Chains A and B, each alone.
Chain A
Amino acid sequence: AQKITQTQPGMFVQEKEAVTLDCTYDTSDPSYGLFWYKQPSSGEMIFLIYQGSYDQQNATEGRYSLNFQKARKSANLVISASQLGDSAMYFCAMKELQGGSEKLVFGKGTKLTVNP
């Protein structure tokens, strides 16, 4: 079974600064996909960024970038120029195959607080 580890229960950052949220994973599959989701207090899961195991470059989406280090099995999320609206739970997730179907398996999450 695959496993996602997020070791930071909570992180604090000043507005306009950058922050890195850690994620390590464990899988024996050569082909896999990693996701980051943002979950505000309202509850919806918002897709931020995706990295495929065969992607040659680190994924970027606006202020979000993924620091993908395959050999270390890490996929850290970098948020640049933090905004107050970035305060939320952030989940790292991985696709997992089961019985011919796919599912997302989530890490425990990191609660990010952006201070003014």
Chain B
Amino acid sequence: DTEVTQTPKHLVMGMTNKKSLKCEQHMGHRAMYWYKQKAKKPPELMFVYSYEKLSINESVPSRFSPECPNSSLLNLHLHALQPEDSALYLCASSQRTGYYGYTFGSGTRLTVV
């Protein structure tokens, strides 16, 4: 299995809703990432988990809450989002030492109304 699976593919949520994005990989990768990508822009890193511990938080607002329950699963909990948070959210995983083992999921297109 050489895939990173993200669900849901599309999500529309109100500003008062709570929702979660899910990311799963079974490649034995020990680093997992959340990226946010606005239209016509490059992906911007949000969080990095290494060996199931949060290692990088790029000053992301607390309305985004990551969770890594085990080495295969990464969640992003969303609460009280703003319309400007509408974007493509990409999950990725890699071997611990980086090399060229970065694999991306197909993303979740989030719309906040």
Contact = CB atoms under 8 A, between A and B. Distances in A.
Interface in B9-62: 31, 33, 41-43, 45, 48, 50, 55-56
Contacts of A99: 55-56
> Among A37, A99, A102, A109, which residue has the most Cβ atoms of chain B within 10 A?
A102
A50 interface: yes
A35 interface: yes
A99 B43 CA distance: 20
A107 B104 contact: no
B6 to A, nearest CB: 9
Contact of A95 (B90, B98, B106): B98
Contacts of B74: none
Given A101-B31, A104-B45, A106-B42, A44 B98 contact: no
B48 A45 contact: no
A102 B56 CA distance: 9
A35 B98 CA distance: 12
B33 A43 contact: no
Contacts of B107: 43-44
Given A43-B88, A103-B56, A109 B103 contact: no
A37 B35 CA distance: 14
A33 B105 contact: no
Contacts of B97: 102
Contact of B98 (A102, A106, A108): A102
B79 interface: no
B109 interface: yes
For the complex of A and B, the 7 pairs showing the least CB-CB separation, nearest first, are A50-B100, A106-B42, A45-B104, A44-B106, A101-B55, A102-B98, A43-B107
Interface of A: 33, 35, 37, 42-47, 50, 91, 95, 98-109
Interface of B: 31, 33, 41-43, 45, 48, 50, 55-56, 88, 90, 92, 94, 97-100, 102-107, 109
26 contacts: A35-B100, A35-B102, A43-B90, A43-B107, A43-B109, A44-B105, A44-B106, A47-B100, A47-B104, A50-B99, A50-B100, A91-B42, A91-B43, A98-B48, A99-B56, A100-B50, A100-B55, A103-B33, A103-B45, A103-B48, A103-B56, A104-B43, A104-B92, A107-B42, A108-B42, A109-B41
